[in-house]
Structure 1
């Protein structure tokens, strides 16, 4: 979003240099309004509400005899010389996945956790492997963990999860990721014939202030990435560039 504002500023300066002052005045005011709209909160608040507003904080889940909880990874970090750790904003997803796993077990049903994510950041270890360490420390047994270690994007999360889910044949699938990431993830998973129940692992909120703050610009960038991913999917479908849609995954 900062790049968009910077580009608008450059165009404004070019308009003034070409002596198109009226257009320059209009674009300069639009740039200021957009800067304040993002930095002070209204724009990212609207964008996040449209992405995560449809999902319940604590949805009712009817556990079947065979269930899979799909956990989408969200990056890793190097804490000095220590082993890789989940990125700070991924801990909500991990916690929610464990909560759901425990709820499924308390209901007396079979449940597996499918963690999907390769080494997209080239940190030397697949994200799913890093997340699995955290899940084991939180009490999830190795026997109930399935790792997908090849995917480099949300699209591939869905693509490579399909055969793993098909081999286990769950009767109910739950998808856990960040609230603002759910809409795009569900779209991609549906393309590969998977219709999971969505559960948000974390939620974001813009700060409503009278002065611009960096968090609101960060949030605007995150939401813009989601909308562009949805738009790209629809354009690629229209042009026939996406892989053919897969039939519904049958239990």
Structure 2
């Protein structure tokens, strides 16, 4: 496992870890809706003009698009199906302790079925405990690798590519939760991988509000990431954190030592 003291660094992007039932979020949404209703009721002539204006149709179109994307992302709709073929590596993306056991179970079953000789775990704070759970499932160390450095999905892809170069490991079976799969697919494909998405279910005790908010969060990041990759394709290979290039170079050196 690649792990460096320099990997202990703060998040460089605001992660939007706001719960669905956050009082601040509820207050903002309620205030915005209340102000709009008050304004429309107080000014009926503005109300008629508003519902006929291009602004209303633009807002309605945007809201409808967000709703459709949220539903699609929430259930990982329209993603490529798993053909069941052997792959070069099974990649697990960390998303915290509540989602860990399902991913470990999925990776264990895939490894035992002979889909790949290697399981690679990516994500700071998640990699060490995930590897321990895989070892507890009788997966040998020779079949395990990972990195305990990446802070974002883009860094997941960048550090994976540094340690498992796409030219040597062209096809990955990518395990993460359904809302995260679309964005992960974009980021790993941008690094040159052929990606087979493999959804790991969210906890059964999560409420509809929790899963919907997670999907909505992913829609925001998916739009930002896909727009950035479309208009600025070099950004896929340019880390946002100034410390990351040195860490990526160290990850490559770690991988070269592993292969020697």
Same fold (TM over 0.5): yes
d(CA) in 2 for partners of 1:244 and 1:49? 21
User: Is the 8 Å Cα contact of residues 174 and 197 (structure 1) preserved in structure 2?
Assistant: yes
1:69-97 CA distance string (max 9 Å, x none):
1111111xxxxxxxxxxx22332222111
- Aligned match of 1:5 in 5, 29, 35? 29
The structure whose residues are more often helix, as a share, is: 2
Structure 2: how far apart are the matches of 1:241 and 1:168?
A: 19
Provide runs of 4+ in structure 1 moved above 4 Å: 1-4, 21-27, 43-46, 48-51
- Are residues 1:228 and 2:217 paired? no
Residues 28-79 of structure 1: per-residue CA shift (max 9 Å, x gap): xxxxxxxxxxxxxxx699714775123588x332216xx211111111xxxx
Q: Root-mean-square deviation (CA), in Å?
A: 3.7
Task: Check conservation: 2:172, 2:195, Cα contact below 8 A.
Answer: yes
> Which digits, 9 at most, give the CA deviation of each residue in 1:162-203, with x for residues without a partner?
011118923532111112211110001111111221111226
Q: TM-score, normalised by structure 2?
A: 0.63
Unaligned runs of 5+ in 2: 1-19, 52-66, 239-260
Q: 1: distance between equivalents of 2:143 and 2:169?
A: 13
Q: Aligned pair 1:92/2:102, yes or no?
A: yes
Structure 1 residue matching 2:164: 3-state secondary structure = helix
Work out the number of aligned pairs and report it. 199
Write the mapping of 1:145-160 to structure 2, written as runs, cut at 5 A: 145-160=144-159
Pick closer, same or farther for the CA change 1:183–1:204 going to 2, 3 Å.
farther
1:161 matched residue in structure 2: 160
